[in-house]
């Protein structure tokens, strides 16, 4: 692919424009990163009030499978990406006939289906040295019965839908074969994966950026804490996990990206399990073919953010090796922050929060706060880890955030 340089103009007088499918907060932060470099941007998103659409040069208000909207996006843009993995893979295939698309439809298709994703991880394990948890595929009543009879070793486990599961949705914990059958019926008898529950001690993720030419850079692993299946706290600092384990996670994530021939920013999530060793064992959980919630700290703690690297990768620019200049903790801000204990609306105490040293508030421009909705995040940076933790605890108390004991 020929590089698309910032601020360049083509023969028709059109300014270099980068497009994104999806108008959420990830698209918004991508748009900001692209515009800072001098690119024009176009967002395809059906919601007229979408966070990304409101700040982009062009907002194509269209469905993700609308031929007219896709044609307009391809006409306006020199390269196209996506901000979420559930955009139809066929849409990416269609756009790739006219423009460079990163990541590819094939890769996004793997990430959309847990069955294909786990098969890919299993193949990569020979090179990466990190496999996924033991699992079985359940797509038919016969497969369910076979698992009940032959794979009882997978119980207790978690039954997960093969498609459309995120933030803990589409998942049911099961302890017995009877509960397994009931859970599959509850999920509608759709294709699922039964995954063995492991003794988890921590969760972590690694962000990798890979260019069209195969160049790869990555960030250090970040340790994540989830509450009710949704990310609450990310620790991005020295000592957040044992060095040997961090190296294994980083190497495995790079290996997975290389094996896919990936282009763009990829997040690979891992479980740390108690295997009797001092540092624990590592198991790959899932991947997201886009920037990730756990990487938002890079906006304030690194000299190149995950969104900067997303722009560089899709435009064919060199990938700078990111350097983290400050320890950081990221706190996710859900809609609950805008409600008091009795359920009444309130405005968070931003003056108190923003008076704390090293706080960086990012609100996503969403007009309606709802319970469980990602409204923004707060990153705390500072010269030392102890100070960052102290400020993060104070901010969490002021905002009434969960996961305080994990900071």
- Cβ pair 78, 17 in contact under 8 A: yes
Q: Is 309 annotated as a binding residue?
A: no
Q: Which residues contact 198 (CB under 8 A, 6 or more apart)?
A: 133, 271, 273, 283
Beta carbons of 186 and 175 less than 8 angstroms apart: no
Q: Is 226 annotated as a binding residue?
A: yes
Residue 196 among known ligand-binding residues: yes
- Does residue 240 have a known ligand-binding role? no
CA distance 380 to 217: 24
Contact at 8 Å (CB) between 41 and 23? no
- Annotation-wise, does 166 bind a ligand? yes
Q: Which of 52, 70, 26, 109 is nearest to 310 (CA)?
A: 26
Asked whether residue 165 is marked as a ligand-binding residue, the answer is: yes
222-227 vs 200-210, strand pairing mode: antiparallel
Q: Is 389 assigned to a binding site?
A: no
Helical H segments across 207-274, by residue range: 243-260
Is 168 annotated in a binding site? The answer is yes
Q: 9 pairs with which residues across the strands?
A: 15
Q: By three-state DSSP, how is residue 174 classified? A: strand
Question: Is residue 195 marked as binding?
Answer: yes
- Does 171 show up as a binding residue in the annotation? yes
How many degrees, rounded to 5, is the angle at CA 259 between CA 258 and CA 260? Answer: 90
The pair of structure tokens assigned to 103 is 């990541």
Distance from C-alpha of 253 to C-alpha of 257, rounded to nearest angstrom:
6
Nearest to 102 by CA among 264, 289, 311: 264
366 is in an annotated binding site: no
374 assigned ligand-binding residue = no
Strands of 305-398, DSSP E = 328-334, 359-363, 374-381
Q: Is 321 annotated as a binding residue?
A: no
Q: Which helix (H) or strand (E) holds 182?
A: helix 177-186
**SS3 state of residue 38:** coil
- CA 154 – CA 372 distance, rounded (Å): 30
Opening angle at CA 67, ends 63 and 71, nearest 5: 105
- Residue 14 assigned as binding residue: no
**Could you write out the DSSP letters of every residue in 55-70?**
TSSEEE---TT-HHHH
Contact in structure between 257 and 266 (CB atoms under 8 Å) = yes
Q: For the purposes of burial, counting CB atoms within 10 Å of the CB of 93, is it exposed (0-12), middle (13-18) or buried (19 or more)?
A: middle
Q: Binding site for ATP: which residues?
A: 114, 160, 165-171, 195-198, 203, 226, 285-286
Q: Binding site: which residues?
A: 114, 160, 165-171, 195-198, 203, 226, 285-286
């Amino acid at each position: 692919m020929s590089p698309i340089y910032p601020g360049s103009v083509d023969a028709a007088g059109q300014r270099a424009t980068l497009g994104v499918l999806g108008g959420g907060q990830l698209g918004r932060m991508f748009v900001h990163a692209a515009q800072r470099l001098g690119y024009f941007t176009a967002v395809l998103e059906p919601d007229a009030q979408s966070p990304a659409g409101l700040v982009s040069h062009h907002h194509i208000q269209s469905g993700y499978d609308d031929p007219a909207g896709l044609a307009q996006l391809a006409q306006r843009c020199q390269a196209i990406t996506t901000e979420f993995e559930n955009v139809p893979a066929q849409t990416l295939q269609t756009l790739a006939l006219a423009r460079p698309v990163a990541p590819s439809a094939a890769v996004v298709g793997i990430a959309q289906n847990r069955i294909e994703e786990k098969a890919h991880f299993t193949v990569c394990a020979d090179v990466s040295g990190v496999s996924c948890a033991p699992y079985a595929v359940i797509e038919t009543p016969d497969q369910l019965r076979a698992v009940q009879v032959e794979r009882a070793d997978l119980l207790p486990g978690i039954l997960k839908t093969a498609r459309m599961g995120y933030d803990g949705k589409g998942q049911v914990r099961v302890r017995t074969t009877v509960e397994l059958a009931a859970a599959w019926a509850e999920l509608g008898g759709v294709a699922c994966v039964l995954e063995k529950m492991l003794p988890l001690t921590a969760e972590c993720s690694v962000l990798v950026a890979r260019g069209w030419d195969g160049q790869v850079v990555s960030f250090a692993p970040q340790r994540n804490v989830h509450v009710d299946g949704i990310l609450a706290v990310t620790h991005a600092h020295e000592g957040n996990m044992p060095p040997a384990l961090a190296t294994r996670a980083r190497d495995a994530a790079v290996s997975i990206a290389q094996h896919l021939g990936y282009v763009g920013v990829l997040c690979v999530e891992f479980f740390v399990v108690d295997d009797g060793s001092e540092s624990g064992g590592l198991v790959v959980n899932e991947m997201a073919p886009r920037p990730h919630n756990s990487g938002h700290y890079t906006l304030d703690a690194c000299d190149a953010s995950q969104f900067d690297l997303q722009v560089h990768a899709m435009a064919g620019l060199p990938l700078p090796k990111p350097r983290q200049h400050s320890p950081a903790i990221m706190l996710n801000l859900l809609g609950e922050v805008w409600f008091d204990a009795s359920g009444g609306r309130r405005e968070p105490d931003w003056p108190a929060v923003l008076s704390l040293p090293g706080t960086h508030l990012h609100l996503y421009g969403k007009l309606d706060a709802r319970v469980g909705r990602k409204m923004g995040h707060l990153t705390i940076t500072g010269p030392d880890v102890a100070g960052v933790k102290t400020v993060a605890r104070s901010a969490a108390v002021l905002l009434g955030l969960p996961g305080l004991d994990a900071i």
